[in-house]
Amino acid sequence: MIFRNILHSLTLGIICAITSGCSSSGVKGDYADSIKTVSPRETDLTSEATAYSDSLLNCLTLEQRVGQCFMPSIYSRVDEATVRRFRSYISDLHVGGIVLLKGDVESAALLSDMSLKSEVPLFIAIDAEWGLGMRLEDAPDFPRNGRIGEKADEELLFEYGSEVARECRRIGINMVLGPVVDVVENPGGIIGSRSFGGDPVRVAELGTAYARGLEGGRVISVAKHFPGHGSPSADSHRTLPVIRRSLHQLDSIDLYPFRHYIESGLSGVMVGHLAVPAVDPHSLPAAVSSPVIDDLLRGELGFRGLVLTDALNMGGAEGYGAVAALMAGADIVISPADTGREIAEVVEGVRKGEVPVSVIDDRCRRILFYKYLVREKSAGVMLEGIREDVRTGTDSLRLRLER
C-alpha cells in the first residue's frame, strides 16, 4: 500500500489526542518521546484512513476529484468580495483547500469556520515559516529561522513547532507551508533568513524538529523548496532559477535536509520552480518535472506523502499549468493564476484521455487520506478571546529562540 511506511509524528499526535485526552496544544513531553516505532494503534489508524479515502473517493464526481487537487490562495479578511470568492471556491469549484494570505487572526478564523460547510473537509494552509505572524498582523512574532540563536536545539524547535500548531488549531488551520529546509549558500540571497542556515546538518535537524512539533499537534508540515533553493541567486517569483550543482553536490548539500525529513516519516514536500539540469536535462521547472518528482523525490528518496507545487502564479512557472504538474507527480497545485480555468483544463484532459483518470484518483486518494488524519471534531472556531488565546505563553518561547 502506498501509505504503509508513513505516519510517525503525525499519527502519534492524533493517537495522543484520541487515547490520552491531549488538547490540540501539541504533544507533551520531550522531543525524544515523539520518535517511536509504529504501534498497533497506528496501524489501525492507517487502515481507517485508507478505508475513509477509498470510500469517499467513490462518492465524488470527476469535477470534485479534480477540485481536491487545487488550493487557491485568498487574503485573510472577510470583506464581501473575499467571502464571495471563498464560497465559490468551495461550492462551485470543490477545491481541496485554501492558502491564507495576509490579514488578521479573527478573519482567518472566520474563513476557517466557513470552510466547515464544504462537503469534503478542506486543508486550511498558511505560510508560517516563523509563526503565524508571518501572515497575520496580530499573531505572535517569532524570529526568522536564520536568526534563531546558535544554542537552539531540536528539543526547543520541537516545542516551537508544537506552539505554532496550537495557535494554528485555535484558528482552524491544519497545514503549515513550512519549514524552509533550503541550505543557503549566500545569507544575503533570495532565501536568506527564511532558512536555518548554510549547514545541511543543522538545517535538517532544526527543520525536522520544528515539523515534528507541528505534526504532533495535528498540523501537516510541508518542507520546501525541493530540491533546494539555497544556491540560486534568481527569484522564482519573477523568473526560473537554475541549480548549477552536480548530482554529488545536490545529494550532500541540498537533498540532505529533505532526506532527513522524509526518513522521519513527515507529511508534505513543496516542489519549487527551479531548473535542475543534473536531474532533468530539459531543465523544466521542478514542480512540473517528472524526473524531479517521480524519479528523485518519489523514487530515489522514497517519499510517499503529499507533494505540493509552489504557487503556479509565480514567474518561475510561467507557461506551465496544473495538467503538467499533476502529470509530473504533484498531488496539490497551489495558487494557480485562474483556478476555475485550470480545473476545467484538467477535467477536459481526463475526458479526452490525455490525463489518465488513475492519476487523478491516485492524487485524490492520498489527499483524502491525510485529511482523515487531521480531521477536526469540533463544531467550529470559538471567536471569543481568540487573539489573546493565540498569544498565550509566546513571549518566553520567543526569548529562548533568540538566545
Catalytic residues: 237, 310
Contact 34, 226 (CB under 8 A): no
CB atoms under 10 Å from CB of 18, counted, come to 12
Q: Give the orientation angle of helix 357-373 with respect to helix 40-59, to 10 degrees.
A: 130
Q: Give the orientation angle of helix 200-216 with respect to helix 154-171, to 10 degrees.
A: 40
**CA–CA dist 190, 195 (Å, integer):** 10
Place of cell 498497533: 40
DSSP, collapsed to helix, strand or coil, labels residue 175 as strand
Give the type of residue at 123: F
* DSSP-derived secondary structure for 372-385: HHT---SSS---TT
- 302-331 b/e with 16+ CB inside 10 Å = b? ebbbbbbbbbbbbebbeebbbbbbbbbbbb
Residues sharing a CB contact under 8 Å with residue 144, sequence separation 6 or more, in sequence order:
129, 130, 193, 194
User: What's the gap between Cα 150 and its chain centre?
Assistant: 26
Strands (E) located in 208-363:
220-226, 268-271, 306-309, 333-334
